[in-house]
Chain A
């Protein structure tokens, strides 16, 4: 391998990248835009759920409950109505997502030591939403219950509740979705940059017939591949740092573990993804083909890696497939390092799996890149 040739290929690639306005935007704007988009839009922690209330009691208890519902910003009361039909109609029209009926005489019944049954209509079309809304309702009712019980205990009228749960959230106590998402976004951005750009870089030469002129020179396949890949390795690295920095600055994503270990992980993952890009480009003849081939690789990565949907919730057969998705291991390790602050001793399995994937892909890439036409 001659260093001067590798350097010439890498330099040429950098010059082209720097002068191609479209590519430049893809490299700098896309990752940040995706991060902001995912960071803000993908939020499992719902707030400001529009709530319609039919308050038939209109006493201190019912008012306290409404205040409790709005207290942590979980619900916004958008309308007070006078009938069940109205509640249903508002939910039909999506002007409210939850309708709450507070029965008459709440204060009297509680004073009399009787229970009160509250009816809540929850829009169940989106299961995630419905679940969050129910939890929010239960929490608010629970808080009010606790206050009422405490007041009665002071008056010597009641005993504490027999069982009380005090869950403590480790690692991400605020339930910050971005903290969970950012490591994943680093993963998908790296996949994109590495696989798509590398794939395109080589197929572009093929499509414009430049590859033919190149392979008619004494350049070795290895020199060509290394020279082509080096700039993208650097770019992917810079992009990873950029996303991590924005994640920290904008979304307060923690970095509890070793930054060096995280960079090592990024390096391993990028190398494997670049190799996938080369394999793709060796088969594809046009840039469109390369993009489609990349999507075939990229989409399962997003859905089966545990990025959005917990792997634990998938059917057994699909869970088995996730073991073949390199992004899964990257996510496991990145979340481990960033959120839980654990080291290589705990993350040995994902690191080993990624290393195996990378080595296999590099071998595959070298084999698939030949220096003859047809």
Chain B
């Protein structure tokens, strides 16, 4: 039995899901705190969506458990559903319905009567959707549609929301808007678990979990994660176009082309190449190096 500590809104313990022989999620544990924006970062096919589906109560776990706002996803998935908001990967909007009708429909699954009407008006205002309320969802641009999708997921003011890749396919401006909206909801006390495969977006989260091949390979604040790799590697930028050659050198962990320059990751005791400028690690470095370590461990 998994307990829930104070201020923890989601507690995941050894959660596991098999599809036949495939282990899509392999014993993942972490927690999401109250008012926290938690980022689940990982490449496509890492198991992010499977994880979110289990946490939302729509997919039964094969092992482990998670407690979401006090309800177990294994034993009481319907109680979980009543307490959360869930935005699926593709924006779930009905194209023939107007923005308002879409919101009303989703809100009616949780609320009725005056509370329903109030929640819809409130969501239209919070998400800046009032001006497009009468437009058909099918006519909206991707950014607006995603905004509607998130508004739908939280129209009933849940304490926990799961947003599966809300920014995939959006332009940078629209992505920023989505994150601003997520933070605004978190300010109101909602905990959000957001999945993404955009590295830069991880920086926007309070805490991040790195998912790779169904496993959680790193967990912490973006600062902590970058600090951890900084202790183990050094990062340089130097002019040149022969990243391939650099990769083969002793003491070089990795090297890749970045415009007219090469980004080089070195072992801590390797000699510093001439003309190189030391840089701070980015989330991309964290991601790439963690995956390298994971793959190396898997080979051993």
Q: Residues of A with Cβ closer than 8 Å to B?
A: 2, 4-5, 7-9, 11-12, 15-16, 19-20, 208-210, 212-219, 371-374
Contact = CB atoms under 8 A, between A and B. Distances in A.
Contacts of B113: 4
Interface in B78-103: 78, 81-82, 84, 86-90, 92, 94, 96-97, 101
A216 B112 contact: no
Contact of B58 (A20, A210, A216): A216
B112 A16 contact: no
Interface in B139-170: 152-153
A12 B101 contact: yes
A8 B110 CA distance: 11
Interface size class of B (residues with CB under 8 A): 20 to 34
Contacts of B19: 374
B94 A212 contact: no
Nearest to A212: B88
A208 B97 CA distance: 14
Nearest to B53: A373
A16 B106 contact: no
A217 B87 CA distance: 11
Looking at B53, B81, B92, the one whose CB has the most chain A CB atoms below 10 A away is B92
A4 B104 CA distance: 12
21 contacts: A5-B109, A12-B101, A12-B105, A19-B97, A20-B96, A208-B92, A209-B88, A210-B92, A212-B88, A213-B86, A213-B88, A213-B92, A213-B106, A213-B152, A214-B109, A216-B84, A217-B106, A217-B109, A218-B109, A373-B58, A374-B59
Contacts of B88: 209, 212-213, 216
A209 B90 contact: yes
B108 interface: yes
A16 B94 contact: yes
B77 interface: yes
B57 interface: yes
Given A12-B97, A19-B136, A372-B59, 10 more contacts: A4-B113, A8-B104, A12-B101, A12-B105, A16-B94, A215-B58, A216-B58, A216-B84, A218-B82, A371-B58
Interface of A is mostly: helix
Nearest to B153: A213
B109 A212 contact: no
A82 to B, nearest CB: 69
Contact of B81 (A5, A11, A218): A218
A262 to B, nearest CB: 34
B60 interface: yes
A4 B115 CA distance: 12
Nearest to A215: B58
B97 A219 contact: no
A216 B85 CA distance: 8
Contacts of B109: 5, 8, 214, 217-219
Interface of B: 19, 53, 56-60, 77-78, 81-82, 84, 86-90, 92, 94, 96-97, 101, 104-106, 108-110, 112-113, 116, 136, 152-153
Contact of B92 (A2, A20, A212, A374): A212
B96 A16 contact: yes
Contacts of A20: 96
Nearest to A15: B97
B62 to A, nearest CB: 11
Nearest to A224: B109
A2 B97 contact: no
B23 to A, nearest CB: 15
Contact of A216 (B86, B101, B136): B86
Given A16-B94, A373-B53, A2 B89 contact: no
A71 B60 CA distance: 76
B15 to A, nearest CB: 16
A374 B53 CA distance: 11
Contacts of A214: 109
Looking at B53, B92, B109, B116, the one whose CB has the most chain A CB atoms below 10 A away is B109
Contacts of B153: 213
Looking at A15, A216, A373, the one whose CB has the most chain B CB atoms below 10 A away is A216
Per CB-CB distance, the 5 closest pairs between chain A and chain B, nearest first, are A8-B108, A213-B92, A217-B109, A4-B112, A216-B86
A16 B97 contact: yes
B47 to A, nearest CB: 15
Nearest to B17: A374
Looking at B57, B89, B104, B152, the one whose CB has the most chain A CB atoms below 10 A away is B57
A20 B97 CA distance: 10
Looking at B53, B58, B78, B87, the one whose CB has the most chain A CB atoms below 10 A away is B58
Contact of A217 (B59, B81, B89, B90): B81
B61 to A, nearest CB: 11
Nearest to B97: A15
Contacts of B59: 372-374
Given A213-B92, A216-B57, A216-B86, A2 B101 contact: no
A208 B88 CA distance: 11
Contacts of A373: 53, 58-59
B101 A372 contact: no
Contacts of B84: 216
Contact of A212 (B58, B97, B136): B58
